[in-house]
Amino acid sequence: MFESLFYILIFPGVLFVSVFGLAAEVMDRKIYARLQNRVGPPWFQTVADFIKLLGKEDIVPIDANPRMFRIAPLFALTSAVTVFLYIPLWGAQSLFSFNGDIIMVLYLLTVPTLAFFVGGWYSTSLFARIGSVRAVTQLFAYEVPLFMSILASALLANTWSMKEIASFYTQHPYYCFFNIIGFAVALVSLLGKLEKVPFDIPEAETEIVAGIFTEYSGRLLGILRLTIDIEMVVGSALLAAVFFPVGMTLAPVIGFLLFIVKVLIIVAIMALLRTVVARLRIDQMIDFCWKYMVPMAVCQLLMNLVLKGILFR
C-alpha cells in the first residue's frame, strides 16, 4: 500500500511529473526564445509563476457554474498524471501495465481537453466559450491521426500493451525506422493536443484574450498551466515509448536518463516547429489534419499491416 502511494504521489507520480513538467516548460520557452533571438526566462521562472498563482485568490464569475468551474481543472490534472504511471520509464515494464493499456492511455489523454472545454463553457464568458468550441473542434481533427499513428506502431508490434510494444522494438530496434511517418504525424498532432503554435487557436490571445482560460485565476489557473506542462511531458513520453523505446534493456538508471533525454529532444523539436510556423485559422487546421495528416497516418497503418503480414505469416 505504502509502495503504491509512493509511486502515485512521489515518483514517478504527482511530484516528479510536476517538477519534470515545469522544467520542460522552461526548456521549451528558452529554446523558443533563443530561436527568436531573445534571452528567454530564467530557469526558475515557471516555479515562481506557479507559486505566485497558488498565493492568489480564485475568482469565480457571477454567472458561472461554480462546481463545474472548479472541478474541471482537477479532472484535467488527475487524468494527465495518471497516464504517466502506465508509460515505461526505465525498462519495458511500466508500473501498472496490463494488456490493452495503450487504449486507456489514449483515452486518458483526451480527458484534459474535454475538461478544458467544460471549464471554459461553464465560465459563461464569451471568449471562453468561443475557445471551448474551438478546442472541441480541433479535438476531432488531430485525435484521428494521432490515434492511428500510435496504433499503427502497436499493430506492427502485434500487441496493445505498452510493455510488449517497448519489448518488441527493444528487441528489433531497426523496425523503429518503419514508423518515421507515424512519428511525424503524432508529433504534429501532439502540438494540436497541447494547443501550441500553429494550433493555439483556442487560446489565441490576439483574438479571444486567453480563450478557455480567460476567467481563470489564482490556484485554478496554476493547476491548468501545470496540467498543460504535465501533458507536454506525458505526450512526449508516450511518443518516446511507442516509437523509440531503444535502450530499455540497459541498467535502470541509464535507461531512465536516456528516456529523459528522448523526452526533452521531442520537447525541443516541438519548440522548433512552433518557431517556424505561424498560427492557422480553425478551418485551415481542420483541412490540414484531414487532407494531409490522416492520409499519412493511413499510409503508415497500411505499411505496417503489410510488414506485419510478412513478419508474422
Task: Judge whether 169 and 311 are in contact, CB under 8 Å.
Answer: no
What is the rounded distance in angstroms from the CA atom of residue 250 to the CA atom of residue 236? 21
Instruction: Provide the pLDDT for residue 171.
Output: 83
- Higher-scoring residue by pLDDT: 203, 77: 77
Q: How confident is the model at residue 182 (pLDDT cuts 50, 70, 90)?
A: very high
List the one residue out of 93, 95, 72 whose CA is nearest residue 82: 95
**What distance in Å separates the CA atoms of residue 128 and residue 33, rounded to the nearest whole number?**
28
Q: What is the pLDDT of residue 147?
A: 92
| pLDDT attached to residue 166 | 84
Cα-Cα-Cα-Cα dihedral sign, residues 296, 301, 307, 309: negative
Would the pLDDT of 188 be above 90?
Answer: yes
Residues ≥6 apart with Cβ < 8 Å to 39: 33
Query: Which residue stretches of 55-99 are H helix?
Result: 66-84
Q: What does the pLDDT read at residue 247?
A: 67
User: Can you tell me the mean pLDDT for 8-32?
Assistant: 89
Half-sphere exposure (Cβ direction) of 126: Cα atoms closer than 13 Å: 2
Each residue of 248-284: pLDDT tens digit? 667 778 888 888 999 999 999 999 988 888 888 888 9
Q: How many domains does the chain have?
A: 1
Assigned C-alpha cell, 18: 510536476
The full length of the chain comes to 313
pLDDT tens, 223-232? 999 999 999 9
How many angstroms separate the CA atoms of 86 and 208, rounded? 36
Domain span at 288: 2-311
Are 264 and 116 in contact by the 8 Å Cβ rule? The answer is no
C-alpha span between 135 and 199 (Å, rounded): 10
